[in-house]
A and B are shown apart, each in its own frame.
Chain A
Amino acid sequence: MPREAEPSLNEKQFVTQALQENLRLDGRQLDQYRPLEISFGDQYGVADVTLGKTRVLAKATAEVTVPYVDRPLDGIFTIATELSPMTSPAFEVNRPTETEVLLSRLLEKTVRRSGALDTESLCLVAGQKCWSVRVDVHVVSHDGGLTDAACVAVVGALRHFRKPDTSMEAGRLTVYTPAEREPVPLSWLHSPLCVTWSFFGDDGETAVLDATWLEEQVRVASCTVSLNKHGEICQIAKLGGTPVDAVALLQCTSVALVKVKEFSDLLDRRLAEDLKRRDKGGFMAELRAENDR
């Protein structure tokens, strides 16, 4: 498969040189994100996030299965990330690239390991039955900032998702279909989000937020901070690259908190709007049912 096209020498040199003058190719400030937008699908658990020209789609699903033997009291929660040739023809189906592995590990650490979803609440019958919640992340268009956008999409999809209602009666488990009982939301504890810094220059002295794909190809180091709006840091990943001053990293974390608060507010707002839209539909549906009788 043809490899991802490298940017030209002219572009590489120019991006670095311009950043030293606090200039970015799209005219943004160094700590300015591209416009972030979230929308939800007709079905529960579909979140569509756009960040400039980057677009990520996440879909949450749930099914009843048998829990792992060593964790009989926990449900199963997985995040599946696969970059398709839609992202770029350089990605091949069933052949993970470095970008893909790093993305899925960061999401795993941010969302799953931070206990954002209460997996114990997914247990139905200890050791026998539990819910398996799965989020599929589809990168539809890649123009940098994948981790940040994907994280918003995953959190959005899970918070939007409703799993079928269940009941236990005399040791018999009943899973209701959506026609019988309205599905119920997941037990969600906190919303961790990612903010990625990119560093440029010989000593990584220029820190830039939300790098585009071209900037990502030129940067000397990057650092992803995951935290929730209460300022609780879930993870910091600085994978290789040029060493960066510790004080600068601290500075980055505090800016990240401001951004995460902004994103959380946007997410809350969009979820509330969607709930309102659905509620209206539900009311109309009830009216229609009335007429049928």
Chain B
Amino acid sequence: MATGHPVVLPGETIDPSLIPSHPKNPLRLGPGLRHIPPTDIVPTVAGQLITNPIKNSMWIEYNSNRYIPSPNDLILAQILRSTTDFYLCTLSPHTAPATLPHLAFEGATKKTRPILQPGQLVYARVALANKHMDAELECVSSTTGKADGLGPLGTPTATSTAGGGCAFDISLGFARRLLMARSREEGGVGVLEMLAGEEGGGLAFETAVGRNGRVWVGSDSARTVVLVGRALQETDRGGLGLEGQRRLVKKLVREMR
């Protein structure tokens, strides 16, 4: 392990020389760290300590399975039931439901709100998350009033003709890597590009990755959905690098033909 990014355990003292000290910007603490006034910064989870001296921030990089809502995360929610003003949705099994107001959809009014069945998958953004309250979701950007790709999944819309599709469970760390702006360079995942590209023989499919560890795959062909889902899950579970992913995609495409 590189000395610049040491592994830390909960409660360990962090070497003060590792804490970034920017003359102007305030120090920003990310996940896995807590501040005990006045000056102690203590890790709360086991992982790798990452520091960014330019942004003057530090956080712990780790992987887990249980999603804890945080604002602006894109998530894959499942409708539980509808109440008078909002839908109750599940983000992860056995947790308290999140709320999705009936009016938090593009162009929704009292009369034109979308009707969603229990069990329907919805791609949404976390609008409000607070440890003392249930999370609140939205399927519309509050600034532009546009859906921006959010909304119920697997129902024919103006932009998509794919069938119902299927959701697959992945680890939170892998979901985060898939959502990175440059996932191939920064996150080391190129499996989706490969499937759509040369290695996969140009498969046509859509995906919606939720930070809560679920990914939805839609396509006209059920075979493609299964192939993409398996490729994602096996990349995650096997901890494959780019070369391993290329081999996996080739193997799966050959198998499923």
Which of A's residues lie within 8 Å of B, judged by CB? 2, 4-15, 17-18, 21, 23-27, 89-90
Tell me if B186 counts as interface (CB < 8 A to partner A): no
Contact B226 A9 (CB under 8 A): no
Contact: A10 with B229, CB < 8 Å? Answer: no
Known: A14-B225, A18-B222. 13 other contacts (CB 8 A): A2-B93, A5-B90, A6-B119, A7-B119, A8-B78, A8-B167, A10-B165, A14-B163, A14-B164, A14-B165, A18-B166, A23-B222, A89-B94
User: Known contacts being A11-B167, A13-B164, is A5 close to B93, with CB within 8 Å?
Assistant: yes
Chain B residues with CB under 8 A of A15: 166
* Set of chain A residues within 8 Å of B95, measured between Cβ atoms: 2
Out of B94, B226, B252, which one reaches A2, CB within 8 Å?
B94
- Whether B146 sits at the interface, judged by CB under 8 Å, is no
In the bound complex, CA of A195 to CA of B222 (Å): 28
Find the B residue at minimum CB distance from A26. Answer: B230
**A10 close to B90 (CB less than 8 A):** no
Residues B230 and A17 in contact, CB atoms below 8 Å apart: no
Q: A17 and B222 in contact (CB under 8 A), knowing A10-B153, A25-B166?
A: yes
Assembly CA distance A90 to B95 (angstroms): 11
Our pick among B165, B216, B229 for the contact of A25 (Cβ within 8 Å) is B229
**How many residues belonging to B are interface residues under a CB distance threshold of 8 Å?**
28
Instruction: Tell me if A8 and B223 are in contact (CB < 8 A).
Output: no
CA distance A235 to B201 in the complex (A): 49
Alpha-carbon distance between A58 and B189 when the two chains are bound, in angstroms: 40
Residue B119 contacts which of A9, A21, A89, A90 (CB distance < 8 angstroms)? A9
Residues of B within 8 A of A11 (CB): 166-167
CB distance from B5 to the nearest CB of A (A): 32
The distance in angstroms between the C-alpha atoms of A13 and B155, with both chains bound, is 12
A4 to B167, CA, bound (A): 17
Write out the residue numbers on chain B whose beta carbons fall within 8 Å of the beta carbon of A2: 93-95
* Complex CA–CA separation, A9 to B78 (angstroms): 9
- Specify which chain A residues have a CB less than 8 angstroms from the CB of B164 in the assembled complex: 9-10, 13-14, 17
The answer to whether A10 touches B121 (Cβ under 8 A) is: yes
Sample of 19 A–B contacts (CB below 8 Å):
A2-B93, A5-B93, A5-B94, A6-B119, A7-B119, A8-B120, A8-B167, A9-B120, A9-B164, A10-B119, A10-B121, A10-B164, A10-B167, A10-B216, A11-B167, A14-B166, A15-B166, A23-B226, A27-B256
